[in-house]
Structure 1
Amino acid sequence: MAAVGAGSVESPFFDIPGTDEEVMEDFERITRNAREVQLETLRKILERNRDVEYLQRHGLDRRTDEGSFKACLPVITFAAIQDEVERIADGDLGPVLCAEPVMSFALSSGTSGGKSKMIPRTEWSRQQIIKAGKITSLFRRRAFPRKRDSDKPVVMMFGYAGRQFETKSGLKAGAGTTNAYRSAGFRNSKFTPFEMASPFDVVLGYDVAQQMYCHLLCGLYRSQEVEQVGAIFAYMIVEPFRLLERVWRDICTDIREGTVNERVSDPEIRAAVEEILSPNPELADFIECECAKGWSGIIERLFPNVLYIISNFSGSMLPYVAPMRHYAGSLPLMNGAYGSSECWIAANLDCPGLADSASYTIFPDLAYFEFISVNRDSAGSEFVEDSENNIVGLTDVKVGQEYEIVLTTNAGLYRYRQGDILRVTGFYNSTPKVAFVCRKNVVLSVNTDKTDEEELQLVVEKASQQLKEANMELLEFSSYADHDSQPGHYVIFWELRSHEHLDMGLLEECCTVLDRSFNDPYMRGRAALTIGPLELAIVKEGAFARLMHQFVSDKGIGASQYKTQRCVTNPASLKILKDETIVTIRSQEFPKELLAAWHPSAKIA
C-alpha cells in the first residue's frame, strides 16, 4: 500500500553534497552558523507543514517564526500525540502530524524504560541518515586510511533485521534498524558504502543464535578481507566473541571442510552461507592456533586488516568497554552516531577518540533542537528541572551543564521530549558537543530513594573490582526494586564467568560494597529501616543471552537494537532472571554501620 499522508512531494529537505570536499565545506558552514541554520531549519519544517492538523489545532496559523512557534506549541511527550499516530497507522490519509507521506513507523526498543512507541518515518528521515552518514564516514576515512584496494570495505557487521509488523493502513512498523535492513535500498549497492562479510540472508533471519554463529563463521572465513568490525550496540559485538570462546572448534571444522554446523537449521541462512564457503584447511589451522593461545587481542590477531571497531560504547554500553578492549587488543574502539527512533541527532567526529568518554557533535540542520536544563538534587540521584530559563536553544547551552533534549522534526514531532539526558562537553565551531548521560526516569526506587542508570553502573563497577582476586569476571548485570518484601529492597543480578568455583565469601564482600555505595536517600532509608538489605543474585552463565532472546522474540525487534535492561520492570524478563538464579546473598550490614561507612557515590572512581 502507498505511504500514508497528504501534500505534494517537494524538493529534497537536505542539500546532500556530492564530493568529499563539498561535504566538508558544507559541514563547516552549518556548524559555524549553527544559530542561523537552526532558524532556517525550523522555518523549513513549519513552512512544509503549515496546513498540518496538529499545528493548526495549536493556533500556529501558518506562522514560521521561532517566537510564534514557542508561544503556541507546548513541550510534549509521546502520550500527547499517541492518538494522532494511531490514526495514521489505522489509515487516516489527512495531514495529521506532517505533510510528507509517512513511509513506515520506527518502534522504540522499549529497553530504556517504557513500552515501544511508534514514530512516523518519512523520506525526510531517510535523507537525514544519508547526509549525516556521509559526513561521519568521511571523518573516519580521513583518520583511518584503508589498507586494501577495493571498491568498498568489507565489514564484519553483526546485524539482525528482526521482524516488521503491518499496521491497519498497510504501513510497516519495526525497529529503526529493522526498517533499514528490510528496505529495498539497503540491498542496493548505491546506498550501502560497505560490503557485509555475511550474506544478506543471514541478517534477514529470525533466529539470533543461528545468525550470530553464521556472522562469526563468515567473518572468519573472510578474515583477510575484513576492515571493520561493528554493530549498533557494543553488546552485540561482545556477545559473539563470548560465543566464539565456546564454538571455535566447530567454526574451524566448518572452515576446514567447507560445511555449516548442524546448529544452523534455517534453510535460507544455511544455503546462503554454504554458497560462499569452500574448504580452507590452512585458514582453519591458523584460526585454531590463535584461539588456542587465548582471547586477549583475538580480533586483531584473527583480522589483520581491521582498522577499528565501531559501535556505541557510551551510556548503558559502558560496561562492555572493558571486555571489548580485551578482545580488541590495540585496535581503536570507535563510537559511531548518536540518535534514536525519533531522529538522528549527532555523531562522534573525534577520531579515534576514547570509547568510554565519547562526545557527539550535533548537526544543526537535522532537526530543530531545544534543551531543558536539569540539575541533580542534593543527593545527586534525581534530575530536577531548572526553574529559571530552563529551555534554551542549541547555541545557548553551557559546557558542563546537563540537559534533556527536545526535538522538532519534519516527520511530525514538535517540541518533543526525547527522554535522554546529555552533558555538554564543548563546541565544534558554534554547535555543541554532547555526552550521553542516561535515560531519564530509568531508576531504582523503594521509598524516597532514586537511583539512576549512571549511578547504578558506577556502584556495580566499584563492587565488581573485588572479583579479580578470585579469577571471576562480571559479564552482565541488571537490577530491580523488590516491593513485595517488607521493607522493599534492591536486587542486583550478576552473571559471572568463574574459572574455578564461586567464592561465597568474596561475593558477600561484593554485596556489602554494593549496599554501602548508593546515594544519601538510600542510606537514610536503610538507617530508618524503610529499605531492606540489598540482595545480590548470581545467575547462570548465559542467562542474559536468554533474556535477550526472549525480548527479541516477544517484541519482534532486531537483536541489533537490543540493549540489556539495567532496571528490569517487565514480568517476563524478571521471571527469566529469577529462574536462572543459582545463588542469592543478602547484605549483612546493619543500618547504622552502613550510614557511618557511607561515601557519596559521585566520588566513586
Structure 2
Amino acid sequence: MDGKKLEYKGEEALKEIQRLTTEANKVQEDLLKAILTRNRTTEYLRKYMTEGASMDDDVLVFKQKVPVITYKDICPYIQRIANGEDSSLISGHPIVEMLCSSGTSGGEPKLMPTIAEDLDRRTFVYNMIMPIMNQYVTGLDAGKAMFLYFVKAEMSTPCGLPARTVLTSYYKSKHFKGRSRDRYNDQTSPDEAILCDDSNQSMYCQLLAGLINRQQVLRLGAVFASALLRAISFLERNWVSLSNDIRKGKLSPMITDSGCRLAMSSMLQSAADPRLADEIENICSRRSWKGIVCDLWPRAKYIEAVVTGSMSQYIPALEYYSMGKLPLVCTMYASSECYFGVNLKPLCDPTHVSFTLLPNMGYYEFIPLSKNETYRNEEADEDEISSNKLLVELVHVKIGCYYELVVTTFSGLNRYRIGDVLQVTGFHNRTPQFRFICRRNVILSIDNDKTNEEDLHKSVMAAKKLLEPYNALLVEYTSYADTSSVPGHYVIYWEIKHYTVPAVCIDKQATSPLGPKVLEDCCIAIEEDLDYIYRRCRTNDKSIGPLEIRVVKAGTFELLMDLFIKEGASINQYKTPRCIKSDAALKLLKSNVKACFFSPRNPTWFP
C-alpha cells in the first residue's frame, strides 16, 4: 500500500482509525495526488490532463475536467486490457486480475480491474475488524470462529488474466493463506474446505467442522445473510449424514474433493464421538428449528453477516433461528470496485447500521440526491452531472442528505459511479458515516411509476406482518414488471414457510390456514405502502393493473440461487435480485408457482 503499514492490531489499529478519520481531508487529498502521480500518463487520463502541469494543477484539472462515468464508459478500456493490450490504458501499475461483480443486483456481471496492492487495501480493512469488535465483545480469543466462506471456479480473460470474484481472489491470495494464526483467527473450517470449488462439498465440510467444534464456536456467520440461511437449509437436509460422520469418525463418500477428504478425514480420525453425534441428532430432530443456532453453538456471542440494504429481508429469519438472542453484526462495507469502510458500532440494531468510510481506500465524491431521486436511472441524468459541479467531497457532505457514491482508485477507475445510494447519519471525527439505502439501478416501472429497491422492500415488510398471526414467515421475495398484458402490473414472488409454536401458544387464529383473503390483504398492503405516483397510476390513471403475489414452492429461491451460481455468480456475493431481468430466472419462478393472488381493490389515492 505504497509502503504504508498493512497489519495493525489492537490499540494500534484503533489509533490508526482515529488518525485517518481525524485527518480525512488531508488523507483524501494526498490519496488523489498519489493516484494522479501514478496514472496521469495513462491513455484515459491523458485526454484531460495538461502535460508538464504541477500536482496542484493536476488536482484542479481532474476535478474540473475528468467526467463522472458509469461502467459502459470504462468497459471498452477494460475489454482491451482483457484482450491483451497494456495496463497503461488506465493504470500506472500492471492489472493483475479482473474481478467479477456478482451481477445479481442490477444486471450483467462486470469486470473490474485490480492491481497487486489492492489486496493490501482489502487486508487492511479486514485487519481492522477484530480490534473494533473487541471493544464491545470480550473473550473472543478463547474459542473459534465458524465463518462459512466459499470460492467460485475462476475463468481467464482472452489474454490469460484471472477473472474471479473479489472474495475468491482474497481467499486464494497469500494474504489469506499466510494470515497470522493467532487466537482471533482460529477458524473451524480448514482452508481446503473453503477453497473447494464445489459449493455443496464445501458447505458440507464447513458445517461438519463447525459441528465437531460446536462447544468452541464463539462467533459464526457468512459474508451475506443469504449464504448463512442457505447453510441452515442445507443443514436441515443433511444433518443425519453429518451426525453419522461424527458418530463413525468417517467422512461421507459424497465428499470426493481430494483436499476436503484429506483435511476432514484428518479432523475425524482422532476418534469417533457418539456422544457428540447424539447431541446433534437430539437438537436437529426437533419439530421446530426455532433457536437452532443457539442450541447447536451454545457459546456463540454474535452472528456476523451483511444485513443492510436488500439483506435486511433476512433479519427476521436469522432472529427466528437464533431466538433473537445473538446480535446481528455487520462489520464492513465493500464492493468489487473498492473496499470502503467499517462499522464502528457493530452491536447497533441492524436496521441502524452506519459505515465510516476509510479515507485511505479510495478517493470519494458524492452526487447529491433528494430522497425521491434515489431511483433515478444512471443514463437519465448524465448531462446534468457531466459538468462535475454537483459533486461533493467526503468531508463536505451533510447529515441527513442522500448521495450516490463516486470513487477514484489506483487501478484505473476515475470518478466511477458505484450505483449505491447512501444517507449521511453523522460523523466520526472529520469523517462522515453513511447508511446504505439501495442500489439506484434496481427498479420496477410500468408507466410513470419508479419503484426503487428501498420502497419495494419497505412495502413488502409492511405486508408480511399480516402473515405473523398465522405462524407464517416470509422466507424470500423478488419481483418483476409484467407487461405481457395491458395494463401491466407488478408481480411479487413470495416463498412462505409455516413454523410451529409451543402448544400453549397456539390459538384458534394461529392454527387457521393462510386463506386467499390473507394473501389478498397482503397485496393491498403492499400497494398502500407504495408511493403516490404508483397509487395514482393504479387508481386514477388506470395505467397499472392490480398487484399480484405468486406464492412459490418451498426451496424455489434456493433453486434460483443455484441458477445464478451456475451462470457465474458467487455464493459469497449472491444477493437475491429484487427485480428479475433474466428470462431463465423468470421461467424457473413461474414453474414453481403454487397459487396466485391479486389486489382486491384500488389503493387509496388523494389528488
| TM-score relative to the length of structure 1 | 0.90
Cross-structure match for 2:502:
none
**1:525 and 2:537 are equivalent in the alignment:** yes
Which of 293, 297, 318 is the equivalent residue of 1:324?
Answer: 318
Cross-structure match for 1:183:
173
Cross-structure match for 2:489:
489
What is the alpha-carbon distance in structure 2 between the residues aligned to residue 17 and residue 389 of structure 1? 38
Cross-structure match for 1:7:
none
Residue by residue over 1:213-234, the C-alpha shift from the partner in whole angstroms, topping out at 9 and shown as x without a partner, is 3322221111122222121111
What is the alpha-carbon distance in structure 2 between the residues aligned to residue 19 and residue 575 of structure 1? 50
**1:107 and 2:100 are equivalent in the alignment:** yes
Tell me, what secondary structure is at the counterpart of 1:213?
helix
Which of 505, 512, 520 is the equivalent residue of 2:524?
Answer: 512
What is the alpha-carbon distance in structure 2 between the residues aligned to residue 141 and residue 245 of structure 1? 33
- Aligned partner letter, 1:338: Y
**1:570 and 2:582 are equivalent in the alignment:** yes
8 Å CA contact 2:48, 2:62 repeated in 1: no
User: Shift of residue 382 of structure 1?
Assistant: 5.2
Tell me, what secondary structure is at the counterpart of 1:81?
helix
**1:540 and 2:553 are equivalent in the alignment:** yes
**Pair 1:206–1:247, CA change in 2 (3 A):** same
Cross-structure match for 2:24:
34
Cross-structure match for 1:223:
214
What is the alpha-carbon distance in structure 1 between the residues aligned to residue 73 and residue 425 of structure 2? 32
Residue by residue over 1:438-472, the C-alpha shift from the partner in whole angstroms, topping out at 9 and shown as x without a partner, is 00121110010011111111111111111122222
Cross-structure match for 2:596:
584
**Pair 1:140–1:148, CA change in 2 (3 A):** closer
**Pair 1:397–1:258, CA change in 2 (3 A):** same
What is the alpha-carbon distance in structure 2 between the residues aligned to residue 226 and residue 173 of structure 1? 34
8 Å CA contact 1:401, 1:423 repeated in 2: yes
- Aligned partner letter, 1:348: N
8 Å CA contact 1:180, 1:186 repeated in 2: yes
User: Shift of residue 502 of structure 1?
Assistant: 4.5
Tell me, what secondary structure is at the counterpart of 1:95?
helix
What is the alpha-carbon distance in structure 2 between the residues aligned to residue 50 and residue 406 of structure 1? 19
Stretch of structure 1 that moved more, 355-364 or 464-473: 464-473
**Pair 1:268–1:30, CA change in 2 (3 A):** closer
Stretch of structure 1 that moved more, 47-56 or 295-304: 295-304
Residue by residue over 1:235-277, the C-alpha shift from the partner in whole angstroms, topping out at 9 and shown as x without a partner, is 1112212333343333322222223445545555345423312
Which of 272, 280, 284 is the equivalent residue of 1:287?
Answer: 280
**Pair 1:370–1:562, CA change in 2 (3 A):** same
**Pair 1:430–1:561, CA change in 2 (3 A):** same
Stretch of structure 1 that moved more, 27-36 or 454-463: 27-36
**Pair 1:459–1:13, CA change in 2 (3 A):** farther
After superposition, the CA RMSD in angstroms is 2.4
User: Shift of residue 381 of structure 1?
Assistant: 6.3
- Aligned partner letter, 1:145: T
Q: How many residues align?
A: 580
What is the alpha-carbon distance in structure 2 between the residues aligned to residue 364 and residue 191 of structure 1? 28
Query: How do 1:462-473 and structure 2 match up within 5 A?
Result: 462-473=462-473
- Aligned partner letter, 2:371: R
- Aligned partner letter, 2:235: L
Stretch of structure 1 that moved more, 537-546 or 262-271: 262-271
**1:301 and 2:310 are equivalent in the alignment:** no
Tell me, what secondary structure is at the counterpart of 1:231?
strand
Tell me, what secondary structure is at the counterpart of 1:467?
helix
What is the alpha-carbon distance in structure 1 between the residues aligned to residue 375 and residue 417 of structure 2? 21
8 Å CA contact 2:119, 2:175 repeated in 1: no
What is the alpha-carbon distance in structure 1 between the residues aligned to residue 282 and residue 514 of structure 2? 30
Residue by residue over 1:490-532, the C-alpha shift from the partner in whole angstroms, topping out at 9 and shown as x without a partner, is 0000001135854333222222322333111111111222111
What is the alpha-carbon distance in structure 2 between the residues aligned to residue 241 and residue 103 of structure 1? 36
**Pair 1:80–1:303, CA change in 2 (3 A):** same
Cross-structure match for 1:93:
86
User: Shift of residue 585 of structure 1?
Assistant: 1.4
User: Shift of residue 290 of structure 1?
Assistant: 3.0
Tell me, what secondary structure is at the counterpart of 2:521?
helix
Query: How do 1:336-355 and structure 2 match up within 5 A?
Result: 336-355=331-350
Cross-structure match for 1:259:
250
**1:551 and 2:564 are equivalent in the alignment:** yes
8 Å CA contact 1:14, 1:128 repeated in 2: no
- Aligned partner letter, 1:56: R
Cross-structure match for 1:461:
461
What is the alpha-carbon distance in structure 2 between the residues aligned to residue 79 and residue 191 of structure 1? 42
Cross-structure match for 1:168:
158
User: Shift of residue 82 of structure 1?
Assistant: 1.0
Cross-structure match for 2:418:
418
What is the alpha-carbon distance in structure 1 between the residues aligned to residue 238 and residue 245 of structure 2? 11
- Sequence identity of aligned pairs in percent? 35
What is the alpha-carbon distance in structure 1 between the residues aligned to residue 527 and residue 20 of structure 2? 49
Stretch of structure 1 that moved more, 112-121 or 176-185: 176-185
User: Shift of residue 365 of structure 1?
Assistant: 1.4
Which of 24, 36, 48 is the equivalent residue of 1:46?
Answer: 36
Which of 111, 114, 120 is the equivalent residue of 1:121?
Answer: 114
Residue by residue over 1:95-144, the C-alpha shift from the partner in whole angstroms, topping out at 9 and shown as x without a partner, is 11111111111111111112111111112311111222222321112322
Stretch of structure 1 that moved more, 296-305 or 426-435: 296-305
Cross-structure match for 1:5:
none
Cross-structure match for 1:371:
366
Tell me, what secondary structure is at the counterpart of 2:604?
helix
What is the alpha-carbon distance in structure 2 between the residues aligned to residue 190 and residue 514 of structure 1? 49
Tell me, what secondary structure is at the counterpart of 2:113?
strand
Tell me, what secondary structure is at the counterpart of 2:572?
helix
**1:208 and 2:199 are equivalent in the alignment:** yes
User: Shift of residue 408 of structure 1?
Assistant: 0.7
Cross-structure match for 2:508:
none
| TM-score relative to the length of structure 2 | 0.90
- Aligned partner letter, 1:488: G
**Pair 1:36–1:274, CA change in 2 (3 A):** same
What is the alpha-carbon distance in structure 2 between the residues aligned to residue 366 and residue 94 of structure 1? 21
Cross-structure match for 2:4:
14
**Pair 1:581–1:101, CA change in 2 (3 A):** same
Which of 126, 130, 135 is the equivalent residue of 2:123?
Answer: 130
8 Å CA contact 1:232, 1:561 repeated in 2: yes
Cross-structure match for 1:274:
265
**Pair 1:19–1:493, CA change in 2 (3 A):** closer
Gaps of 5+ in 2: 500-510
- Aligned partner letter, 1:73: V
**Pair 1:20–1:156, CA change in 2 (3 A):** closer
**Pair 1:471–1:430, CA change in 2 (3 A):** same
8 Å CA contact 1:236, 1:560 repeated in 2: yes
User: Shift of residue 19 of structure 1?
Assistant: 4.9
User: Shift of residue 28 of structure 1?
Assistant: 1.4
- Aligned partner letter, 1:44: A
8 Å CA contact 2:8, 2:128 repeated in 1: no
What is the alpha-carbon distance in structure 2 between the residues aligned to residue 382 and residue 98 of structure 1? 31
Tell me, what secondary structure is at the counterpart of 2:434?
strand
**Pair 1:211–1:17, CA change in 2 (3 A):** closer
8 Å CA contact 1:60, 1:69 repeated in 2: no
Cross-structure match for 1:3:
none
8 Å CA contact 2:375, 2:443 repeated in 1: no
User: Shift of residue 314 of structure 1?
Assistant: 0.3
What is the alpha-carbon distance in structure 1 between the residues aligned to residue 294 and residue 124 of structure 2? 31
**Pair 1:578–1:267, CA change in 2 (3 A):** farther
- Aligned partner letter, 2:573: Q
Tell me, what secondary structure is at the counterpart of 1:216?
helix
